[in-house]
Structure 1
Amino acid sequence: MLKDFSVQALFMGVLTAFVGFASSFAVVLQGLQAVGATDGQAASGLMALSISMGICGIVLSAVTRLPVSIAWSTPGAALLASTGAIEGGFDAAVGAFLICAVLIVVAGLFKPLGRAVAAIPAPLANAMLAGVLLGLCFAPVKAIAFNPLLGLPIILAWIVVGAFRRLWAVPAALGVFALVLTFGIDIPDGALASIGRSLVPTIEIVRPVFNLAGLVSVALPLFIVTMASQNIPGIAVLKVNLYDPKPGPLFAVTGFFSVLSAPFGGHAVNLAAITAAMCAGQDAHADPQRRYWAAMISGAGYVVFGLLAGVVTAFVALAPPILIQAVAGLALVGAFSGSAMAAFQAPESREAAAIAFLVTASGVSFAGISGAFWGLVAGGLMLALSRFVQAARK
């Protein structure tokens, strides 16, 4: 293995870890806090996820000798942010995280379940995801309305840097957010000392509660979003770069690490999609057989960032919530546009996708069950009806 190490892979691995963490940790914090996590529990969840995905990436890449990049479920975190508090509070959310993790393991080991997830019509899955992301994507505009002097610099940094280098747009917005927080907001006395104390990793174990609301509102939608928007595209990215992994074992291992992180507040660990392309492409190394080092190094970087999760959370907590929501929303604009385009591309399923999108985006829950689930159900029923009518006409 040491013969395969290269400076090029080292650079790409460090860059991948930074981009992966900086571009979406705000979404994770927002999602965990939305379902009832305290600041300490959110920091613990962020730490658990970062360390779990780091170790998972190192293990899978070393064993398979493939550039298997691992990430937390950013769409899943956005789903949590749109779901909000459920019956049973954060304890019930953690119970749902565990159920989702077990389902991912089963999907990897039990092929019919994996095929069933893959059989969910792509327009409906993308419409549900677009509906989930819509609310957070409004946050940058709301931040400007809240305070133009605070919100506008963050958005301008994202626009200007993104025009030249899309990969650095969100880290640039995050950097300006840090400057705005440091120089534009009155920081209470003792707050900096509190951040210093946060250098010690925050670990909080949550006793899971299992109930129907957690199963239907969080576990099932989180499982579908994670599989459809992360795991399956993650395999596709590897195949595009001429690797031929066995999906089942990879899914099962990510589910196992999700099980490990859930009691500490982590929602889901899965195959990376966007950052996977960084480690699997030519920029990681000219020789495809040596690119796995980039994924291993990025894993080590995630572990380091995870140990600093308490500091990150304490610093972010000093800002008005709308500002960190704005950063999270900017991080999801690309995902929203991609899912919306995929949802409405096919004319024959466009109406069903629109229903799935609108029901999900409404944020309305029925019988204690979140709109994401009902959006998928409503869109599925509409699609089934449309296909039945078309078949009857023939």
Structure 2
Amino acid sequence: MENGKINSLESPKKYRKIKKLSEFFMRKRIAHILTNSPGLKARDIAKALNCERREVTKCLYDNLEEFVQDENFAWLLKKNACLKIEFSANRTWITQEHFERALVKNGSPLDTAHGHIILKIPKESKLLFCAAARVLALANQLAEVKRIVELDFTENPDAVSYLNRAGFFDRLSKSIKVLPRKPNSSTAQRHKANTTKLVELLPIDADSDENVPERFKLSFADVFGELHAQKLFTVLGELIGNAEEHSETVIPGFAGLQSYSLKGSTSIVAVVSDSGKGICSTLRPALDLHYPEIAAQFPKTLEASDAKLIIHAMLKGGLSKRGKGKGGAGLYNSSGQAESLNAKISIRQEDFSVSLTYKDEDLHHNWSLGLPTLRGTHIVFEFKLDRQ
């Protein structure tokens, strides 16, 4: 101020500073009110603050990273807004289909504004290996985007014991809370590779010392013979290599295998999971550049275009983000071995899945579209062997 007059350059700066401080204190006061009384509507907050409703509404919508509105138009602190998803089973086993139904019922927590996510395993339910892998991937993805995540096994301590042996907690983000408590030590590490029925969930990070496909082969060669073990080695080696190529993720991928004996035969379930960009997201940019004929065959405007593109890659091969002659055989080679084993391969992408089932040289394939968000590529490989 000079000679009693406000400096024309200083005035706007002071105004912006005062306005910024006013907005800061308004946000803090609203946060304090919602901490003590969550679930208030804007008019109730304005009444408590003795100010105009429009001021409160503007502040709430200007700070959606901190505040969230529920289905009843009431406001909560985002960090305290909670969504509980329970993975119920019709019978004893929770399968990957039950996992998907739970997401359809509740919506993917990756698409909601809830800051606190509880994933609950109910009492007397057993997790199939493929379902456990989906829960693990979802939990880690939520942790990576800074959600508060809890895995609730309070009613099902047996599930904790099984998952600990399978290496689930070794792959789980350390920021995730486990109820009633996380195991003190890893039974997967203590008993690693001492059974042919289980290959623990192992990291498929390119920098890892683990040769995961070799673990699969060694584990099953004595039980199912060298031929089947080699086929398994080829399938999973290709799928893991494909995941490493297309992943581009900060969350380490993982793979594992479980066998179940029933009525004289053995069902084998192998999983390969990564939380990266997904197969189609990495292939699409290369199509116009290296494969214009394929791009024309599977345009984005075509219904189920991405699903059909993955099926094409599995049955025909030769597609690589690096171009022709530079890879792209992984899915194709896996498909060929799956045919020889009468196996089923399902591939879950961000919002759709495809499956290929081989039986006596016949191939059946289908897809599901519009699934709730789960980032990355999640592959389940299933087949049965009659034990001699």
Structure with higher helix content: 1
TM-score bucket (shorter structure): under 0.3
Structure number with higher relative contact order (C-alpha < 8 Å, ≥ 6 residues apart)? 1
User: TM-score, structure 2 length as denominator?
Assistant: 0.22
Structure with higher strand content: 2
User: TM-score, structure 1 length as denominator?
Assistant: 0.22
